[in-house]
Amino acid sequence: MTHLRQLEDQSVYILREAYRHFDNLAMLWSMGKDSTVLLWLARKAFFGHVPFPLLHVDTSYKIPAMIEYRDRLAREWRLNLVVGQNKQALAEGMNHEKGRVTCCTALKTEGLKQLIEAKGYTGLILGVRADEESTRAKERYFSPRDNNNEWNFRDQPPELWNQFKTSFPPDTHIRIHPLLDWTEINIWEYIHLENIPFLDLYLNKGDGKRYRSLGCAPCTFPIQSTASTVPEIIEELRATRVAERAGRAQDEGRGMELLRKDGYM
């Protein structure tokens, strides 16, 4: 319990710093467990309000239940939802069969880049966690991206005593990562503690399968699992040593380092 409140306090502090320093701020929401916890933390930070838009970069390949859930919460929580899509790439027939990294780059990285350019966001809040994969372990809470959206991980700014990088040259933006210190288990413990509504794709509904991580339908695969409640998920995760993103194709080889360098989440 205490460790979850400590994580919550730090994330809330980061969200408030972001809101204070960025006039044109937005939060990425993929409807997955992490970004939904992030959204909940924003409601914590701003006393039930979410004072910035939520962006969903829609690849059009998402599982339909995710879109229904998105629209329901947007209505109930009075969210300012902004949906972006790389329409040109889709019109030209982009899909995962053209190569997973190619498809992710076109529909997600490029889709996000288009949205940033169109709306002029200078701060983007993302729900990435350091324990997801090893390049994210090296991220800062406030992480600059240059005018090509690129991440210069060789020369990251110092981050001292909760003093973050909040000033930046024109045409660049800052990625804000309030969930860096959370683990996958912490996310579920917190969902349980706060009773946060989540997609039931994460639960086994009798067929012995559940999703551990959600992405596009063609590239995300359920795992064998009997966990049909949140406490059962937590128990399962404590016993497993299989990596969370084992079901995510884009992580193979050096895919993620290259994707993230170019501006992927």
Partner 1 sequence: MATCKPAPDTPPLDSRSTHCGNACPWRPVRPGDGGGTVDQGQAPDSQANVTIRDRMNIVIVGSVDHGKSTLLGRLYADTGTLPEGKVERIQAICRQQGKEFEYAFLFDAFLEEQQQGVTIDTARTFFQWAGRQYILIDAPGHKEFLKNMISGAARAEAALLLIDALEGIKDQSKRHGLLLSMLGVKQVTVVVNKMDLVDYRQETFDAIEKAYRAFLAQLNVTPQFVIPGSARQGDNIARPGSRMPWYTGPTVLESLNSFSSASEKAECPLRFPIQDVYKFDACRILAGRITSGRLKVGDTLIFSPSNKTAVVRTIEAFNVDPPPTQAQAGQSVGITLDEQIFVERGEIIGHASSIPLVSTTFRANLFWLGRRPLEQGKPYVLRLTTREIECQVTAIHRIVDANDLSLDTRGTSVQQNEVADITIQARAPLAFDLHTDNDATGCFVLVDQYDVSGGGIITEMVPDREAPLRVEARQRDFAWVKGNVTVAERAMHYGHHAALVLLVGPDTTGKTFLAKQLEAVLVAEGRHAYMLDPENLRHGLDADLREGDAGETIRRYGEVARLLMDTGSLLISTTNSFNLPDDQAIDAIRTLVHPAPVLTVSLSQETGPSSLASDKSPPLRHSRSELSGNPGGDLCFTGPEDFTALARHVLAALIQKGILGEATGKPPAFQVSI
Q: Are 116 and 18 in contact (CB under 8 A)?
A: no
The owner of tokens 């080889």 is 253
Residue 241 touches partner 1, criterion: CB under 8 A: yes
C-alpha span between 8 and 14 (Å, rounded): 10
Name the nearest CA neighbour of 67 among 78, 54, 56, 79: 56
Residue from 154, 206, 207, 224 binding partner 1 (CB under 8 A): 154
Q: Which of 8, 34, 58, 110 binds partner 1 (CB under 8 A)?
A: 8
39 binds partner 1 (CB under 8 A): no
Binding footprint of partner 1, residue count (CB under 8 A): 57
Number of Cα atoms under 13 Å in the Cβ half of residue 142: 27
19 is a contact residue toward partner 1 (CB under 8 A): yes
DSSP string, 38-81: HHHHHHHHTTT---S-EEEE--S-B-HHHHHHHHHHHHHTT--E
* Residues 85-144 interacting with partner 1 (rule: CB under 8 A): 130-131, 133-135, 137-138, 140
Among 153, 209, 222, 262, binds partner 1 (CB under 8 A): 153
Site for partner 1 in 155-194 (CB under 8 A): 156-161, 163, 165, 167-169, 180-181, 183, 186, 194
Asked if 146 and 153 touch (Cβ cutoff 8 Å), the reply is: no
* Contact footprint for partner 1 (CB under 8 A): 2-3, 5-10, 12-13, 16-17, 19-20, 43-49, 51, 130-131, 133-135, 137-138, 140, 153-154, 156-161, 163, 165, 167-169, 180-181, 183, 186, 194, 235, 238-243, 254, 257
